[in-house]
C-alpha cells in the first residue's frame, strides 16, 4: 500500500500479485489495494472487479465498500443496490 501511495504503482502492483500467489489467505486485502491502484491508473472497470473480490474477503469490507462507492461517484456510474 505504501508503494502505491507514494507513486510506485508498478512495483506495488507487482508485489500485490506476488502476495496473491504466495499468500492466498491475504487475497482480500491485496485485492483492495489492487482496486485502488487500478482506479488511479484509470482502469475503472478493473478497479470495480477488484473491489467486488475485496469485499468478499478483506479484513475491512466496510472500507472497501466505501471506497467502491467513491469510485462509482467519481465516474458517475450507477452503484449496485446492496
Q: What is the pLDDT of residues 20-68, one digit of tens each?
A: 999 988 899 999 999 999 988 888 889 999 999 999 999 999 999 998 9
Give 7's pLDDT tier (boundaries 50, 70, 90): low
In this prediction, residue 54 carries a pLDDT of: 95
What is the reported pTM? 0.78
**61 vs 68: CA distance, rounded Å:** 10
pLDDT at 40: 86
Higher pLDDT, 5 or 42: 42
Count Cβ atoms within 10 A of the Cβ of residue 72 and give its class: 0-12 exposed, 13-18 middle, 19 or more buried. Answer: middle
Q: Is the pLDDT of residue 8 over 70?
A: no
Amino acid at each position: 500500500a505504501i508503494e502505491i501511495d507514494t507513486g510506485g504503482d508498478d512495483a506495488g502492483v507487482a508485489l500485490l500479485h506476488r502476495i496473491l500467489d504466495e499468500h492466498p489467505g491475504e487475497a482480500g486485502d491485496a485485492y483492495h489495494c489492487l482496486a485502488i491502484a487500478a482506479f488511479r491508473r484509470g482502469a475503472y472497470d478493473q478497479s470495480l472487479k477488484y473491489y467486488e473480490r475485496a469485499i468478499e474477503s478483506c479484513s475491512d469490507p466496510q472500507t472497501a465498500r466505501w471506497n467502491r462507492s467513491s469510485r462509482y461517484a467519481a465516474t458517475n456510474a450507477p452503484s449496485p443496490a446492496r
